[in-house]
């Protein structure tokens, strides 16, 4: 089993991005004994998907787990849906700010994750960490990369499985602010659990996890 895990460079004026810091720890830990490679993606529209595609071509993974920062979330959010729209509330790191633009012109409106999202959430909770199924990855770079990955799988690499996880702020990002955070070590532990669960599970749990609003 070969695993590719990605995180993003810092953005929005932050000095750190916990998704990348945790991805590196996961690769070092080699969850499940799997050959695991970590790649940092640029927080730049278009470029990030190109970097992801190059990493997939270089490493030939069986499983891809992309991670990104979602400030304000209280636990790991395993994303269920990627939608075909960029709508940037803030500019990316190159100053791009697309509004209501398709990620892939003519592509499907949305893709569902090819990972067992509910089983992954249950496993993270069993490991003692907060987690939830998320119905929206937003419309910034995280959704952009998630959709790019799903489109790659659907059109070019049908044997590949992959998905996206949002992670909270790291503690140093919320000093003096009343916002939730999680240590990078715990984020990495949760991501490792997701990798192992996704690698060994092909049929998802049938339990209620949908949001009411």
Q: What is the rounded CA–CA span in Å between residue 34 and residue 198?
A: 12
Catalytic-labelled residue, pool 43, 51, 66, 79: 79
Q: How many CA atoms lie within 13 A of 164 on its CB side?
A: 29
Beta carbons of 160 and 61 less than 8 angstroms apart: yes
H or E segment to which residue 160 belongs: none
pLDDT for res 4: 98
* Confidence band, pLDDT 50/70/90 cuts, at residue 212: confident
* Confidence band, pLDDT 50/70/90 cuts, at residue 64: very high
Among this protein's residues, is 120 annotated catalytic?
A: no
Catalytic-labelled residue, pool 142, 144, 151, 196: 142
pLDDT for res 84: 98
* Confidence band, pLDDT 50/70/90 cuts, at residue 156: very high
State what percent of residues in the chain have pLDDT above 70.
Answer: 100
Q: What is the rounded CA–CA span in Å between residue 115 and residue 96?
A: 30
Digit-coded pLDDT (tens) for 49-62:
999 999 999 999 99
Mean pLDDT of the chain, nearest integer: 97
Catalytic-labelled residue, pool 51, 120, 166, 196: 166
Among this protein's residues, is 28 annotated catalytic?
A: no
Digit-coded pLDDT (tens) for 32-46:
999 999 999 999 999
* Confidence band, pLDDT 50/70/90 cuts, at residue 213: confident
Q: What is the rounded CA–CA span in Å between residue 56 and residue 65?
A: 11
Among this protein's residues, is 79 annotated catalytic?
A: yes
Q: Quick one: tokens of 17?
A: 């991005």
Helix (H, G, I), strand (E, B) or coil at 132: strand
Least confident piece of the model among 13-17, 77-81, 116-120: 13-17
Q: Is the pTM of this model over 0.95?
A: yes
Give the other-Cβ count within 10 Å of 203's Cβ. 7
């Amino acid at each position: 089993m070969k695993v590719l895990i990605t995180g993003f460079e810092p953005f929005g004026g932050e000095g750190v991005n916990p998704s990348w810091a945790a991805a590196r720890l996961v690769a070092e830990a080699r969850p499940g004994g799997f050959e695991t490679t970590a790649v940092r993606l640029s927080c730049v529209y278009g470029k990030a998907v190109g970097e992801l595609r190059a990493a997939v071509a270089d490493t030939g993974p069986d499983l891809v787990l992309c991670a990104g920062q979602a400030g304000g979330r209280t636990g790991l959010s395993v994303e269920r849906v990627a939608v075909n729209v960029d709508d940037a509330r803030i500019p990316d790191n190159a100053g791009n700010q697309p509004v209501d633009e398709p990620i892939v012109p003519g592509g499907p409106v949305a893709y569902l994750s090819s990972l067992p999202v509910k089983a992954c959430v249950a496993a993270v909770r069993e490991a003692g960490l907060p987690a939830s199924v998320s119905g929206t990855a937003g419309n910034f770079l995280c959704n952009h990369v998630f959709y790019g990955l799903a489109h790659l799988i659907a059109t070019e690499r049908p044997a590949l499985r992959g998905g996206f996880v949002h992670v909270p702020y790291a503690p140093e990002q919320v000093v003096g602010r009343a916002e939730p955070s999680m240590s990078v070590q715990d984020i990495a532990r949760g991501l490792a659990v997701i990798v192992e669960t996704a690698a060994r599970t092909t049929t998802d749990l049938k339990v209620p996890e949908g949001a009411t609003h």
